[in-house]
Amino acid sequence: MKTVWTVARKELVDLFRDRRTMLISLLMGPVLVPVLMLGIGTMIESRMRTQMESTLQLPVIGAEHAPNLIAFLETYNIETQPGPEDPDATVRGQEADVILRISPEFGEQWRESRPARVELIHDSSRQDSQIPVSRLVSVLSEYSGTLGALRGISRGVSPEAAYAVQVARRDVATPESRRAMALLFLPYFLTFFSFLGGAHLAMDATAGERERQSLEPLLATPARRAAIMGGKILGACIFGVISLVLMLLAFKLSLGFAPGAMRMINVSTPVMAMLLVVLLPMVLIGTTLLTLISATVKSMKEAQGYMTVLMLLPMVPSLMLMVNPVRNALWQFAVPFLAQNQMIMKLVRGEVVSAAEWTVYMTAGLGAGLLLWAVASRMYLREKLAVSA
């Protein structure tokens, strides 16, 4: 035990004396990530506001066929312009979000009380045009509904007869859960930082030390190898936790200044403390996995080769959930990365995590960490490890 602490302390002293490396790995994340998130959040927010509230410029083809409709649109803050010759090409070329085409038969159909035809030309794969399109669709259907009702009244039919079914929506999203939509990135950032926060130290303490030829004398001391490895893992874990705490603090402080929806994220101290507890198993998994890798590779360069893949790992659940959202189930709390994602989302959405979920989560997380630890210990006992090339 004494050896473990001696080694851990030496690794931390060694790292903290390397000021620049230490500052980069400790402060870069906590400074940059909130800036990035707030930046993206502000952009989404202001974009939505302008698109919702500003005047919508709408190119219209055949405006002359339906002057009343055009007048109606203008009362809803939609300004019409003459439409282009080739509307498809204009929309594809992203010169207009949506184009309205009124067919020449509009007037005739209108007079005969047949459904008069208008056409919306838009690109549904463009995120950007969603708001203008839905604005236009709702104004058009309002126009259609209002005039349809008037027609009914003029023929002695109750306007209600036209609505066979009335759809009422009730959105059960709590304010917190709606805010959390804006935070799909949060679990990724936090998981990533806890997973790889102590990565430099973990790799350097084994692969780097071996490369610098100081591992052989170290292993020639009477100290047990498992204890030496334990010290290195402990050192990296301590560093990982420090960087994680800084990250959480940065989130807590910066989200206080966040615009609109993000301000409602729950960053209260109890939630932050719970996030820290949730991420501890990830710190352990990250450092033991990297120690394991470092003990098997020939050089620091080879160890760093694994980093690209490791960086992608925390992203997998976020991506999967984006494409294929799954319902909460207990098994998810046992799958590394997915479990962190679910726990973080639950906490920041202000939902209650049940005792069963906590138990499964912590058991699986710490279990995986300890398993990796055991495998790394075996790797540390190999003859090859000590002998640097």
Q: Confirm or reject binding of residue 388 to another protein (CB under 8 A).
A: yes
Indicate which single residue of 82, 115, 156, 222 sits in contact with another protein (rule: CB under 8 A). 222
Give the per-residue contact string, 243-262, with another protein (x = CB under 8 A; - = no). Answer: --------------------
Indicate which single residue of 214, 268, 359, 363 sits in contact with another protein (rule: CB under 8 A). 214
Indicate which single residue of 212, 263, 298, 378 sits in contact with another protein (rule: CB under 8 A). 212
Indicate which single residue of 150, 216, 319, 363 sits in contact with another protein (rule: CB under 8 A). 216
* Backbone phi, psi, residue 210, to 5°: -65, -40
Q: Confirm or reject binding of residue 381 to another protein (CB under 8 A).
A: no
Distance, first Cα to last Cα, the chain: 30
CB of 26 to another protein, least distance (A): 16
Instruction: Round to whole Å and give the CA distance between 69 and 71.
Output: 5
- If residue 28 lies in a helix (H) or strand (E), which one and from where to where? helix 19-53
Q: Confirm or reject binding of residue 299 to another protein (CB under 8 A).
A: no
Using the minimum distance from each CB to another protein, give the nearer residue, 94 or 213.
Answer: 213
Instruction: Round to whole Å and give the CA distance between 235 and 197.
Output: 12
Give the per-residue contact string, 12-51, with another protein (x = CB under 8 A; - = no). Answer: -xx--xx---------------------------------
Indicate which single residue of 81, 221, 268, 328 sits in contact with another protein (rule: CB under 8 A). 221
Cα distances from 265 to residues 141, 171, 261, 268, in angstroms, run 36, 19, 8, 9
* Backbone phi, psi, residue 373, to 5°: -60, -45
Give the per-residue contact string, 75-104, with another protein (x = CB under 8 A; - = no). Answer: ------------------------------
Query: Which range, of 6-14, 147-155, 263-271, 346-354, touches another protein by CB under 8 A?
Result: 6-14
- Angle in degrees, CA 133, 93, 71, rounded to 5: 40
The answer to whether 294 and 209 have CB atoms below 8 angstroms apart is: no
Strands 78-82, 56-61: pairing is: parallel
Question: Angle at which helices 225-255 and 19-53 pack, to 10 degrees?
Answer: 30
Q: Confirm or reject binding of residue 383 to another protein (CB under 8 A).
A: yes
With CA atoms as reference, report the closest residue to 287 among 336, 246, 242, 234: 234
CB of 219 to another protein, least distance (A): 6
Give the per-residue contact string, 168-207, with another protein (x = CB under 8 A; - = no). Answer: ----------------------------------------
With CA atoms as reference, report the closest residue to 60 among 115, 13, 120: 120
- If residue 123 lies in a helix (H) or strand (E), which one and from where to where? none
Residues near another protein (CB under 8 A), total: 28
CB of 183 to another protein, least distance (A): 39
* Backbone phi, psi, residue 100, to 5°: -105, 130
Instruction: Round to whole Å and give the CA distance between 73 and 141.
Output: 11
CB of 19 to another protein, least distance (A): 10
Using the minimum distance from each CB to another protein, give the nearer residue, 156 or 222.
Answer: 222
Indicate which single residue of 68, 141, 213, 354 sits in contact with another protein (rule: CB under 8 A). 213
Tokens of 62: 């055949």
Which residues here bind another protein, judged by CB under 8 A? 2-3, 6-7, 10, 13-14, 17-18, 209, 212-224, 228, 383, 386-388
